[in-house]
A and B are shown apart, each in its own frame.
Chain A
């Protein structure tokens, strides 16, 4: 955990007082609805379909048990006893009362949490690899760099009113577990031949209504220049990004209009004037921030060889346990994807129990993943069995990480004012259809992502299967894409006998970040599970071996066979399709 110093704390406290005053002025009629909107969004407060929604920042997904207990307590006292972990590693409360939000923020500040810049057209929460600091393939621990960027972006006076929201992700490992190619800025922490840290800088990626894979504008930016380079990119974007059309305002549109070479020239010209200026980072500052992170005091242990027998524990271990750089330790994903529970939702009671477990098994810390699960990063292998039993009792040990039922889903039409269609019930229908674990494991690694509208909060464009809710004359329909991929991730546990990280582990995904292709006309909600089944059957018939994943097959053979399996001939009517699916 990063521990605030006196100034970090004071700023968060002052922000609470500032927002309290803004809320007071709004309720007194001294601030218009529109003006207050800009201010409340910068404190995470939306007005949703049924109630306000408060998005609490969990910087780079790192959370202490003290903070989790506070979140549980807040959810119980100010909300309905549960929270929703989002794809930006944040926590959303769906039912707070507007006039109580300043009080909630004040309580958050007591445990070094806040909701600063979790919404609005400014730099949002910095996200990273949920295995930062523990992954065997790590090059640079991303956390300190995330915190340096968090401080740089917090209340940045020049960039508080950007053309549109701005998302930055940092990845410090060989595998990209932070989806850096679909962010406004993606940063890969690297080392040069001498071991000095630098960053590959990627710009202009993003999802939403115009999904784009980002492009590299600098292969290696030495670390002292990180903040001046970010300043240069943001300044070019702030001055020249479009403000006339909300849907063309993201940086990806500017990069497209200028061309990546043209955009790079502008950024480099701006940076030439900022380079080596006062915002240049110092070794002392990097050390200072690093030293404010608590680190686990590992015991000196050896890796354990687990038996390969087919037991429920081993099924969980193969999917939900991940390799660790420290011998004798493992990282564990706490699955928030149990069938029947909205993806990412956790009750206050569960949060408290999870906090207890994190204290006993993982040094009192945990992480939130962009796939809407939680991670205990530092568990002794010898204690995995005990932890598994306790998680199972809480309904948090579904062995489905990386599998089809580990669905990423936005809150959708059940909560969100923007949604065109529901997403949570669709996720549940799919989870119910694929409830056979052996079948699920046989299908292998598959990311299935659902968004309830084109804003793509459920990252459907980068799901191996992506589902998008659309509105057709007031009815909910669903468009299906295949072949998307979040990035060059690690394929874990694909070899059923191997402990992740052992030589049996297959390493990197052969496919980098890519966007899914739509397979055909949208389908009715009731048809979704059948269509997924068709896609899976097609995949199983086409794969070379169980090591070839669904997405690999789509990239090898294209979408045609899949399209055909769902739609038959091109002018098939919906009635034909239903008959075919039912057969």
Chain B
């Protein structure tokens, strides 16, 4: 059974996504609807298919989506930190993933050099302020 984690907790009874984007989908095509949605999922059909990371950032940064952004499909422990940086805040782990391992996956790296959905200011701008 796939487990959904959000805010570093297991979600007991997840609500189904109102919209699921496939990797080839263009987020711009759904832009008008996003304001009314509370749960949008992006599907990762393969472990190494990285298109959804761009989709996540576009939904958050370009189209201003504020609701739950859920990664579904081949979502594994070692993806989580990257996904979180790209704007995902809910993760439906694929079957067989160790949930305890997954819950600590967000702390592997303490910084990001880049501008991301989770941290729009790149490290060099934050360094400059510090």
List residues of chain A with CB under 8 Å of any chain B CB. Answer: 7, 10-11, 14-15, 17-18, 22, 25, 30, 34-35, 38-39, 121, 151-152, 154-163, 227, 235, 238-239, 243, 273, 277-279, 281-282, 284-285, 288
Closest to B120 in A: A278
Stretch with Cβ within 8 A of A (4 or more), from B11-19, B30-38, B103-111: B103-111
Q: Can you name 17 extra interface pairs (CB under 8 A) apart from A14-B108, A157-B81, A279-B114? A: A7-B123, A11-B109, A11-B111, A11-B113, A18-B109, A35-B78, A39-B78, A157-B83, A157-B86, A157-B116, A158-B50, A158-B85, A160-B50, A160-B53, A239-B51, A278-B120, A288-B127
Of B50, B57, B81, B124, the residue contacting A285 (CB under 8 A) is B124
Q: Whole-angstrom distance between the alpha carbons of A161 and B78 in the complex?
A: 12
Which residues of A lie under 8 Å from residue B51 when comparing CB positions?
Answer: 238-239, 243
Q: B108 and A152: CB pair below 8 A? A: no
Q: Whole-angstrom distance between the alpha carbons of A11 and B110 in the complex?
A: 7
Q: B50 and A162: CB pair below 8 A? A: yes
Closest 7 CB pairs of A and B: A161-B50, A157-B85, A279-B115, A285-B124, A157-B82, A151-B113, A18-B108
Of A30, A38, A151, the residue contacting B47 (CB under 8 A) is A38
Which residues of B lie under 8 Å from residue A238 when comparing CB positions?
Answer: 50-51, 53-54
Which residues of B lie under 8 Å from residue A11 when comparing CB positions?
Answer: 109-111, 113
Q: Whole-angstrom distance between the alpha carbons of A243 and B54 in the complex?
A: 15
Which residues of B lie under 8 Å from residue A273 when comparing CB positions?
Answer: 62
Of A17, A22, A154, the residue contacting B78 (CB under 8 A) is A22
Known A35-B47, A38-B48; judge A156-B127 contact (CB<8 A): no
Which residues of B lie under 8 Å from residue A10 when comparing CB positions?
Answer: 110-111
Closest Cβ–Cβ distance, residue A571 to chain B (whole Å): 47
Q: B78 and A278: CB pair below 8 A? A: no
Q: Does B2 contact A (CB under 8 A)?
A: no
Number of interface residues of B (CB under 8 A): 36
Known A160-B50, A239-B51; judge A288-B124 contact (CB<8 A): yes
Interface residues in B55-102 by Cβ distance below 8 A to A read 55, 57, 62, 76, 78, 81-83, 85-86, 98, 101
Q: Is the interface of A mostly helix, strand, loop or mixed?
A: helix
Which residues of A lie under 8 Å from residue B110 when comparing CB positions?
Answer: 10-11, 14
Q: Whole-angstrom distance between the alpha carbons of A18 and B81 in the complex?
A: 12
Closest Cβ–Cβ distance, residue A280 to chain B (whole Å): 9
Which residues of A lie under 8 Å from residue B98 when comparing CB positions?
Answer: 30
Q: A282 and B54: CB pair below 8 A? A: no
Of B50, B112, B115, the residue contacting A277 (CB under 8 A) is B115
Task: Name 24 interchain pairs, CB-CB below 8 A, sorted by A.
Answer: A7-B123, A11-B113, A14-B108, A22-B78, A30-B98, A35-B47, A151-B113, A151-B124, A152-B113, A155-B109, A155-B112, A155-B113, A156-B114, A157-B85, A157-B114, A158-B82, A158-B114, A161-B48, A161-B50, A227-B122, A278-B115, A278-B125, A282-B124, A282-B125
Q: Does B128 contact A (CB under 8 A)?
A: yes
* Residue among B47, B81, B98, B113 with most chain A CB within 10 A: B113
Closest Cβ–Cβ distance, residue A232 to chain B (whole Å): 11
Closest Cβ–Cβ distance, residue B126 to chain A (whole Å): 10
Q: Whole-angstrom distance between the alpha carbons of A324 and B83 in the complex?
A: 47
Q: A15 and B109: CB pair below 8 A? A: yes
Q: A158 and B120: CB pair below 8 A? A: no
Q: B50 and A159: CB pair below 8 A? A: yes
Q: Whole-angstrom distance between the alpha carbons of A34 and B62 in the complex?
A: 34
User: Chain B, 14-48, contact with A by CB distance < 8 Å: what is the 0/1 string?
Assistant: 00000000000000000000000000000000011
Closest to A42 in B: B78
Closest Cβ–Cβ distance, residue B64 to chain A (whole Å): 13
Q: A282 and B113: CB pair below 8 A? A: no
Closest Cβ–Cβ distance, residue B120 to chain A (whole Å): 5
Q: A158 and B57: CB pair below 8 A? A: yes
Q: Whole-angstrom distance between the alpha carbons of A157 and B48 in the complex?
A: 13
Q: A278 and B122: CB pair below 8 A? A: yes
Which residues of B lie under 8 Å from residue A22 when comparing CB positions?
Answer: 78
Known A238-B50, A277-B115; judge A160-B127 contact (CB<8 A): no
Which residues of A lie under 8 Å from residue B85 when comparing CB positions?
Answer: 157-158
Known A155-B112, A157-B86, A288-B124; judge A34-B57 contact (CB<8 A): no
Closest to A238 in B: B54
Closest Cβ–Cβ distance, residue A105 to chain B (whole Å): 14
Q: Whole-angstrom distance between the alpha carbons of A15 and B47 in the complex?
A: 20
Q: Whole-angstrom distance between the alpha carbons of A68 and B40 in the complex?
A: 50
Closest Cβ–Cβ distance, residue A553 to chain B (whole Å): 46
Which residues of B lie under 8 Å from residue A25 when comparing CB positions?
Answer: 101
Q: A285 and B128: CB pair below 8 A? A: yes
Closest to A157 in B: B85
Closest Cβ–Cβ distance, residue A26 to chain B (whole Å): 11
Which residues of A lie under 8 Å from residue B116 when comparing CB positions?
Answer: 157-158
Closest to B51 in A: A239
Q: Whole-angstrom distance between the alpha carbons of A18 and B78 in the complex?
A: 9
Q: Whole-angstrom distance between the alpha carbons of A163 and B116 in the complex?
A: 20
Which residues of A lie under 8 Å from residue B53 when comparing CB positions?
Answer: 157-161, 238
Of A7, A161, A281, the residue contacting B49 (CB under 8 A) is A161
Closest Cβ–Cβ distance, residue A524 to chain B (whole Å): 39
Closest Cβ–Cβ distance, residue B114 to chain A (whole Å): 5
Q: Whole-angstrom distance between the alpha carbons of A243 and B83 in the complex?
A: 20
Of B54, B76, B114, the residue contacting A239 (CB under 8 A) is B54
Of A7, A239, A285, the residue contacting B111 (CB under 8 A) is A7
Known A10-B110, A18-B109, A30-B98; judge A284-B54 contact (CB<8 A): no
Q: B115 and A160: CB pair below 8 A? A: no
Which residues of A lie under 8 Å from residue B127 when comparing CB positions?
Answer: 7, 285, 288
Which residues of A lie under 8 Å from residue B62 when comparing CB positions?
Answer: 273
